[in-house]
């Protein structure tokens, strides 16, 4: 049961307008945002940060950003965000080989060395204590420029916020996210947990 229930998306014009952004990324507005909308300035700030982080400025693709979000969310243990990020990665064109083998990214042929460095960064930056070390920094610079590293860190930070929000709030997963989690993650032990 969620700590705070989300607002009804059709409750007022501002809620419906702010929720529109997520129709592209997920096909619906997530309950996490509908909960944030109880304090509209928080929701507006989150949505603007989300847009800025997910905007593509270089070689960090939309699908890679969502896979980075998935690895970060898995490291944090947030099943809600795991389902959302794998769904968004699929919607943004991630290869089925990547979706099916996300935890074999270090060795699977579906991933490039640049993607491996980005996903290792997501994992190391999302653990406590932080595990980003000099060797990983060097690998990142071998494959990504400074602006692209900032994009990757933006995604990791965005999901750091969302992981804490959704796990603490026990946000209820939406049907589409559950379906994606079951399709791509259940074989590895994923379930809705407290987000059912």
DSSP states along the chain: --SSPPPPTTS-HHHHHHHTHHHHHTSS--HHHHHHTTSHHHHHHHHHHHHHHHS--SS--HHHHHHHHHHHHHHHT-HHHHHHHHHHHHHTT--HHHHHTGGGTTT-TTS-HHHHHHHHHHHHHTSSS----HHHHHHHHHH--HHHHHHHHHHHHHHHHHHHHHHHHTPPPPHHHHHHHHHHTGGGT---GGG-
Average pLDDT estimate for 171-192: 95
- 58 pLDDT band, cuts 50/70/90, is confident
**Number of domains into which the chain is organized:** 1
Which domain covers residue 163, as residue numbers? 1-196
- 16 pLDDT band, cuts 50/70/90, is confident
- How far, in Å, CA of 68 to CA of 122, rounded? 6
pTM comes to 0.94
Report how far Cα 184 is from the mean position of its chain's Cα atoms.
Answer: 15
pLDDT over 80 at 19, yes or no: no
pLDDT at 89: 96
pLDDT over 80 at 114, yes or no: yes
What tokens were used for 55? 């905007």
Q: Do the beta carbons of residue 82 and residue 94 sit within 8 Å?
A: no
pLDDT over 80 at 167, yes or no: yes
- 57 pLDDT band, cuts 50/70/90, is confident
For 96, counting Cβ atoms within 10 Å of its Cβ (0-12 exposed, 13-18 middle, 19+ buried), the class is exposed
Average pLDDT estimate for 41-51: 92
pLDDT over 90 at 80, yes or no: yes
- How far, in Å, CA of 134 to CA of 117, rounded? 13
What tokens were used for 79? 């099943």
pLDDT over 90 at 25, yes or no: no
* In the chain, % of residues over pLDDT 90: 84
Q: Do the beta carbons of residue 78 and residue 166 sit within 8 Å?
A: yes
Which CATH number is 77's domain given?
Answer: 1.20.1290.10
The predicted-structure confidence for 119-147, as pLDDT tens digits, reads as follows 999 999 999 999 999 999 999 999 999 99
């Amino acid at each position: 049961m969620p700590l705070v229930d989300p607002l009804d998306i059709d409750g007022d014009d501002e809620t419906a307008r702010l929720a529109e952004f997520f129709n592209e990324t997920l096909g619906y507005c997530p309950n996490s945002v509908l909960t944030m909308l109880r304090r509209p300035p928080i929701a507006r700030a989150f949505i603007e940060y989300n847009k800025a982080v997910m905007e593509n400025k270089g070689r960090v693709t939309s699908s890679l950003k969502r896979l980075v979000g998935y690895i970060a969310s898995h490291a944090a243990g947030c099943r809600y965000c795991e389902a959302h990020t794998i769904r968004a990665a699929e919607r943004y064109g991630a290869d089925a080989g990547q979706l099916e083998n996300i935890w074999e990214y270090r060795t699977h042929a579906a991933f490039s060395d640049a993607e491996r460095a980005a996903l290792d960064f997501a994992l190391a930056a999302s653990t406590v204590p932080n595990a980003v070390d000099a060797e990983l920094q060097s690998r990142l610079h071998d494959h990504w420029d400074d602006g692209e590293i900032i994009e990757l860190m933006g995604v990791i930070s965005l999901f750091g916020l969302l992981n804490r929000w959704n796990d603490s709030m026990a946000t209820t997963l939406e049907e589409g996210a559950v379906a994606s989690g079951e399709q791509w993650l259940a074989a590895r032990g994923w379930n809705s947990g407290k987000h059912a």
